Structure 1
Amino acid sequence: MPRRPAAPAILPARQALRIVTWNINSVRLRRPLLAELVRHLDPHVICLQETKCPDEHFPLEEIRAFGFPHVAHRGMKGYNGVAVLSRLPFAIRHDDPNWCAKNDCRHLGVELDVPGGPLELHDFYVPAGGDEPDPAANPKFAHKLDFLAEATAWMLGRGPARRSVMLGDLNVAPLEHDVWSHKALLKVVSHTPVEVAAMAAWMAAGQWHDAVRHFVPAEEKLYSWWSYRAKDWEAADRGRRLDHVWCSQDLAGALTRQHILKPARGWPQASDHVPVLVELAL
């Protein structure tokens, strides 16, 4: 595979910073698709979730060959895992919480070196929650609600976000038109009222701004995930918006573009999630 030329280490002033979030569903299985992502979106930063890869087996050199010299990853065998791939230097945040005391590699925070000062970036993979939306009967759903409650309490303790971006596979589709059928999915994990309320509390705790819906009206259907169970995902188009990018209120005015790369769902050996891009003019 030809090596891409390395991008400049410092983002030129007023150039739009392109950040992508993607649940890759196995970084080793789908690392060739990272080249397609880079070709289509040309991001400065890629935040991955569900890398399913222990740190000692992370394909570091192949990823650096795509033009991302700055890489951080937290992974484990078989499931979960997050990573930040960047053309820009960053410092890893080492003191962020160990969510639900599980050490299960669901969060990675960094501080990007960008014009105007460091930008705090948080990559999250929220628990999916299983199939039964009953925390008493389903430990996975209880874990999801506990995770969201801890994240909310953490944000309340920190106060309103400043010069920050929070993103990832948050596994909640909060708005009526973030799912193919609001009525049909009210009792389906990812769109239940208790999850929607928990996400709203998390957003309010940090006074976060929805950077994707900033450009797309709430009454317009918008998805980032289509189930593997559908025989023809594109024809059925029964999607959900599970992948999110939030920015602090002080960055809302810097938003210039969003893009959900829907064709990626049709790539060979595709993830069931597609990349979501947001641009910020810094």
Structure 2
Amino acid sequence: MSFTLATWNINSVRLREDLVLKLLSEQAPDVLCLQECKSPVEKIPTAGFEALGYTHMVARGQKGYNGVAILSKIPMVEAGAEDFASLGHARHIAGRLENGVTIHNHYVPAGGDIADRDVNEKFGQKLDYLTDMRDAFRTSAPKRAILVGDLNIAPREDDVWDHKKLLKVVSHTPIEVEHFNDVMTAGDWHDVTRADIPAGRLYSWWSYRAKDWDAADKGRRLDHIWATGDIKDAAHSSRVLRDARGWEKPSDHAPVFATFDL
């Protein structure tokens, strides 16, 4: 079975329902993983998605904050949800496709503005979330699995617009990158996007603060698609749909795609 998957921090699925429908209509991924849905599950506007063939959904939601959902054309059942770092946030949902592949959809905490857990509780929560992810994968090694989402870390020097300037900025600090890499190692996860696009600057997020985000191009690659070692070679055709950042009233994230032949 071949299927294309996309991941996108939508920054409110109800506010940007039209953008989700545009993506589903024009790009037609088989599976779409959304983060920061900012909606209780029962208020996610599913009718339009179902009309386009996305009749399967697993989700965790909460009013106004966080929230994750997986929409699929392919039959899918829920495969669990974890509350890493015991935050009580809707930040993870897993779905299992009919071919046995499990998709984990994560929205890792952003971590606030100060990269010091002693003065910034949010930064500590981010590190604790990643530590819990690492420990969970050490305890139960994932197989035939894909992990996607807004992981809120740009790990490589060419995942940010200026490595030296951002070394002390949350999302690119050495301690975050270390935690990020520890999670990857613990689960035998492999970066699908960079396997396909191994060199060059690559971003999936551009701040709303920029007057002209496209011209300034001060981006970061915060959104990721990983695969476990047993299926990593089945992945191909990775891309970032940069144009979506320029749609009307956009999310500050662009969708990231990959195709799997499994």
Q: TM-score, normalised by structure 1?
A: 0.91
Give the C-alpha shift of residue 276 in structure 1: 0.4
Query: Which residue matches 2:207?
Result: 227
Equivalent in 58, 62, 80 of residue 44 of structure 2? 58
- Work out the CA distance in 2 between the residues paired with 1:136 and 1:48: 31
1:226-279 per-position Cα deviation (integer Å, ceiling 9, x unaligned): 000000000000000000000011112111211100000000010000110010
Query: Which residue matches 2:55?
Result: 69
**2:118 aligns to what SS in structure 1?**
coil
Query: Which residue matches 1:4?
Result: none
2:101 matches 1:119: yes
Query: Which residue matches 2:112?
Result: 130
- Work out the CA distance in 1 between the residues paired with 2:7 and 2:44: 18
Structure 1 segments, 4+ long, off by >2 Å, are: none
1:66-95 per-position Cα deviation (integer Å, ceiling 9, x unaligned): 22000122111111000010001111123x
- Work out the CA distance in 1 between the residues paired with 2:126 and 2:16: 26
- Work out the CA distance in 2 between the residues paired with 1:97 and 1:25: 21
Query: Which residue matches 2:173?
Result: 192
2:158 matches 1:173: no
- Work out the CA distance in 2 between the residues paired with 1:40 and 1:183: 38
Give the C-alpha shift of residue 39 in structure 1: 3.1
- Work out the CA distance in 1 between the residues paired with 2:217 and 2:115: 24
Instruction: Look up the equivalent residue of 2:189 and give its one-letter code.
Output: W
Query: Which residue matches 2:247?
Result: 267
Instruction: Look up the equivalent residue of 2:17 and give its one-letter code.
Output: R
Query: Which residue matches 1:7?
Result: none
2:83 matches 1:102: no
Corresponding residue pairs, total: 262
**2:195 aligns to what SS in structure 1?**
coil
**2:69 aligns to what SS in structure 1?**
strand
2:30 matches 1:44: yes
Say which one has the larger Rg. 1
Give the C-alpha shift of residue 58 in structure 1: 1.4
Unaligned runs of 5+ in 1: 1-12
Contact 2:58 2:94 in 1 (8 A): no
Query: Which residue matches 1:17?
Result: 3
Unaligned runs of 5+ in 2: none
Give the C-alpha shift of residue 62 in structure 1: 2.2
- Work out the CA distance in 1 between the residues paired with 2:29 and 2:82: 28
**2:158 aligns to what SS in structure 1?**
helix
Percent identical residues: 47
Q: TM-score, normalised by structure 2?
A: 0.97
**2:125 aligns to what SS in structure 1?**
helix
- Work out the CA distance in 1 between the residues paired with 2:48 and 2:190: 34
Instruction: Look up the equivalent residue of 1:152 and give its one-letter code.
Output: R
User: How much is the aligned-residue C-alpha RMSD, in angstroms?
Assistant: 1.0
